[in-house]
């Protein structure tokens, strides 16, 4: 099956480069090029592409406005190209909130220092986004049948001492949607492990802090876990916790050889299983791959409760699927159900 791509960028060089990289694969075809958001909206309706690559900063109509209009008129999987800057991070988060499915750095060097590998990553990401076309129609907060009774949503002790939230592709929007339901009086610390570049996580934490009732910050070395404070793991770092004088604190370190993700959900989960003695709730949201499954096994052995996002509300049903397939999920819920349950937490 041929993947039909619409490229949107006001740089002719970038359009040519993206087209060249994608069409090195025989099943990728660039069916159109738009120089601004207004052209993109029109061509999306005329050409019905399988995926759109979208720049943010453009004349006439910017990429964020174009995403909103396309998702309202002709919903299409959109991959944003973003500058790895503070401003670029804010714009990308806006685009994801508007309906874009994923993002990549605009410069190949920011994707990977190995340009050959960067090309492969770009093509793979376009394929992955294109595969979500059918799922777009399932992302309208569908209430799926509850796998267990409403009473089962509460953990056995009636209270959690720590909440872990893990996500990858589709995560920024999903995390925001459920985190804003946590009440201001929540007594549990929250740790958020979101696969995201280091230049984005501080902006992500700031965005969450603006829309949530609890305080949200980017985790720093030595931070103590405090009631009602949510901490986002910095991109490019690994977050583990340690016990110091009967208090739990954050330990950050650089990615080591052989570690695929940074942050890595498995590493954080296993650290919590080893060093935290209270009642833990771990929630695994949308994302590609299986990161979190090994760590969830260790948490389960220590009595933690595990929730997984359901397939219908996931952008990518990979990470939560791994939890469900392993039989680790105490509850399989959509985002609205998780949010409603959070309204009653602690």
Could you confirm whether 291 is annotated as catalytic? yes
Query: Which residue, 178, 172, 163, 223, is CA-closest to 196?
Result: 172
Of 304, 255, 306, the residue nearest 284 (C-alpha): 306
**Active site (annotated) includes residue 16:** no
Is there a catalytic annotation at residue 168? yes
Residue 258's pLDDT is 87
What per-residue confidence (pLDDT) applies to 26? 93
Set out the domains of the chain in order of their start, with CATH numbers. Answer: 3-138 (3.40.50.2300), 150-342 (3.40.50.180)
For 279-322, what is each residue's pLDDT tens digit?
A: 999 999 999 899 999 999 999 999 999 999 999 899 889 999 99
Among 55, 62, 94, 291, which one carries the catalytic annotation?
A: 291
The catalytically annotated residue of 62, 82, 94, 168 is 168
Q: What is the 3-state secondary structure (H, E, C) of 221-259?
A: CCCECCCCEEEECCCCEEEEEEEECCEEEEEEEECCCCC
Which member of 62, 102, 195, 203 is catalytic?
A: 195
* Least confident among 197-201, 246-250, 341-345: 341-345
Identify the sign of the CA torsion 328, 333, 337, 339: positive
Q: What percent of the chain clears pLDDT 90, i.e. is strictly above it?
A: 72
Q: Which helix (H) or strand (E) holds 294?
A: helix 293-301
Query: Is the full-model pTM beyond 0.95?
Result: no
Bridge-based pairing state of the strands 247-254 and 237-244: antiparallel
């Amino acid at each position: 099956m041929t993947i039909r791509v619409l490229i949107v960028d006001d740089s002719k060089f970038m359009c040519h480069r993206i087209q060249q990289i994608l069409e090195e694969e025989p099943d990728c075809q660039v069916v159109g090029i738009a120089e601004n958001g207004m052209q993109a909206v029109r061509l999306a309706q005329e050409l019905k592409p399988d995926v759109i690559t979208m720049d943010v900063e453009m004349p006439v109509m910017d990429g964020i406005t174009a995403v909103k209009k396309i998702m309202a008129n002709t919903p299409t999987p959109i991959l944003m190209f973003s500058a790895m800057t503070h401003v670029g991070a804010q714009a990308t988060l806006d685009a994801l909130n508007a309906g874009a499915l994923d993002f990549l750095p605009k410069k190949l060097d920011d994707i990977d220092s190995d340009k050959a590998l960067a090309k492969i990553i770009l093509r793979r990401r376009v394929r992955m986004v294109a595969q979500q076309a059918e799922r777009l129609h399932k992302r309208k907060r569908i209430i799926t049948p509850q796998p267990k009774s409403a009473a089962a949503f509460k953990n056995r002790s009636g209270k959690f001492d720590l909440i872990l939230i893990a996500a990858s592709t589709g995560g920024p929007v999903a995390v925001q949607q459920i985190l804003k339901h946590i009440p201001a009086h929540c007594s549990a610390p929250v740790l958020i492990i979101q696969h995201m570049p280091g230049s984005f996580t501080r902006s992500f934490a700031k965005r969450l802090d603006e829309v949530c009732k609890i305080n949200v910050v980017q985790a720093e070395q030595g931070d103590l876990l405090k009631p009602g404070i949510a901490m986002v793991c910095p991109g490019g770092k690994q977050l583990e916790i340690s016990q110091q004088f009967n208090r739990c604190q954050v330990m950050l370190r650089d990615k080591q050889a052989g570690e695929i993700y940074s942050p890595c959900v498995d590493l954080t989960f296993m650290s919590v299983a080893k060093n935290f003695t209270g009642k833990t709730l771990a929630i695994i949201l949308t994302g590609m791959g299986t990161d979190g499954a090994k760590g969830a096994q260790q948490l389960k052995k220590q009595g933690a409760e595990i929730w997984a996002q359901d397939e219908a509300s996931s952008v990518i049903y990979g990470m939560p699927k791994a939890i469900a397939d392993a039989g680790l999920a105490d509850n399989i819920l959509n985002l609205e159900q998780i949010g409603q349950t959070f309204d009653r937490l602690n």
